[in-house]
Amino acid sequence: MARDAGNVVGEGRDDGLVFAKLCARHGIRARFEDEWSAEAEGVPGPGVGGGSAAESEEASSAGLIEIKNQRGLTELTKAFPTVLKQSGLRRLGVVVDSDPGKGMLVRWQQLSNLAKSAGYVVPKTPARQGTILVREGGPALGIWLMPDNKGDGFLEHFVGFLVPPGDAMWEWADKCLDLVPECPSRFKPSHRAKANIHSWLAWQEEPGTPMGSAITQRYLDAHAAHALCFVAWLRLLFESNCVAGCEPISEAEAG
């Protein structure tokens, strides 16, 4: 199916790499900074395979998802109005954490206010499958709240759902966290998921493999239920015919 070019913006480099590597495993052409997921379809990066970098860039840009690192939630929300006004932008995906310290609905309200100020009608609560908003004259706007649009959490909670079921080291990593002594430098309770996934990654065949690379190495399951749901949202947002069929939010559904 034809796929429109557009942007996905996240809070940091780890986020971008996870998104790009998931795209690679599912045959979606995407680029994060210098990282390409196009290899899944045998598509060379700019300047590869003959011709100038500019020619290759132009030829390969059709249907390419550009993944952007906004370097934190504050910068992401500041850039949001400007990004929406980019010339020619037809699709924009926004992916943020539902910080356990604030809660998912607080984060949803924050993004809802930004979307409303740009002319979108926004539902009271996020869609479980990921939200997609449309308005005449503006880009389709997708919003995904980590980890699953229904609970508080970080990217690391989402990645934890990609650990193969019954993995003995995952269970052991969780138990080991309880043995870490109380001290000023100990991780905060709200960051337990971060400590858990990085402890588990430290024990893989290549210790300390980053989360994105762990998808490529198949330590993590790119076809786990949470991964499939996220990829389905991306496809719906970026595949032309799908978004064309999306109905605007009614006044009764609006927040």
Mean pLDDT of successive 10-residue stretches along the chain, which has 255 residues = 74 94 94 59 37 38 80 87 84 91 88 94 95 93 96 96 96 93 89 96 96 97 97 90 54 56
The confidence score (pLDDT) of residue 35 equals: 58
Q: What is the CA radius of gyration of the chain?
A: 19
63 φ, ψ (degrees, to nearest 5): 75, 10
Angstrom distance (rounded) from CA 1 to CA 28: 11
User: How does strand 91-97 pair with strand 131-133?
Assistant: unpaired
Written out in words, the top-level CATH class of the domain with range 6-153+223-242 is alpha beta
Residue ranges matching CATH 3.40.50 in the chain: 6-153+223-242
- Which residues 6+ apart lie within 8 Å of 252 measured at CB? none
The confidence score (pLDDT) of residue 56 equals: 35
Angstrom distance (rounded) from CA 165 to CA 254: 38
Q: What is the DSSP letter of 148?
A: T
Residue 69 has which token pair?
Answer: 């690192």
* Torsion from C-alpha of 72, 76, 79, 84, nearest 10 degrees: 160
The confidence score (pLDDT) of residue 60 equals: 43
Strand, coil or helix: 116? helix
Give the pTM: 0.84
Residue 83 has which token pair?
Answer: 């990004």
The confidence score (pLDDT) of residue 219 equals: 98
The confidence score (pLDDT) of residue 252 equals: 52
The confidence score (pLDDT) of residue 4 equals: 60
The confidence score (pLDDT) of residue 41 equals: 38
With the C-alpha atoms ordered 202, 227, 142, 140, is the resulting torsion angle positive or negative?
positive
Q: Are 10 and 67 within 8 A, CB to CB?
A: yes
The confidence score (pLDDT) of residue 247 equals: 53
Strand, coil or helix: 127? coil
Q: Is residue 19 classed exposed, middle or buried when 0-12, 13-18 and 19+ CB atoms within 10 A define those classes?
A: buried
